[in-house]
Amino acid sequence: MSTYKAKVFVTLKPSILDPQGRTVERALSHLEHGNVSGVRVGKYIELTLHGRREDVEAQLRDITENVLSNPVMEDAHWELEGA
């Protein structure tokens, strides 16, 4: 039984319009950052999990796919760090 730190990254699928990213991009171009493109705004979630590594990995996969992201519109991936 150990404690693990997990990071989950959730982004809109590339085919889905991202109005928030579009707005940031437009703001940046007005601020003389016209060389910035392809801005996409997603979510970054940190969690701490306690348990055996294999259980924690399975659990994190479940949480990422079923709780933290919407697989219809979003892509998600995660990283696990032993603590």
- Cα(12)–Cα(8) distance, rounded to whole angstroms? 14
Cβ atoms within 10 Å of 56's Cβ, excluding its own: 19
- Cα(29)–Cα(35) distance, rounded to whole angstroms? 8
Options 15, 19, 67, 72; binder of a copy of itself; rule CB under 8 A: 67
Question: Binding marks (x or -) toward a copy of itself, 18..57, rule CB under 8 A?
Answer: ---x--x--xx--x-x-xxxxxxxxxxxxxxxxx------
With binding defined as CB under 8 A, does residue 75 bind a copy of itself?
no
Nearest CB to a copy of itself, comparing residues 31 and 72: 31
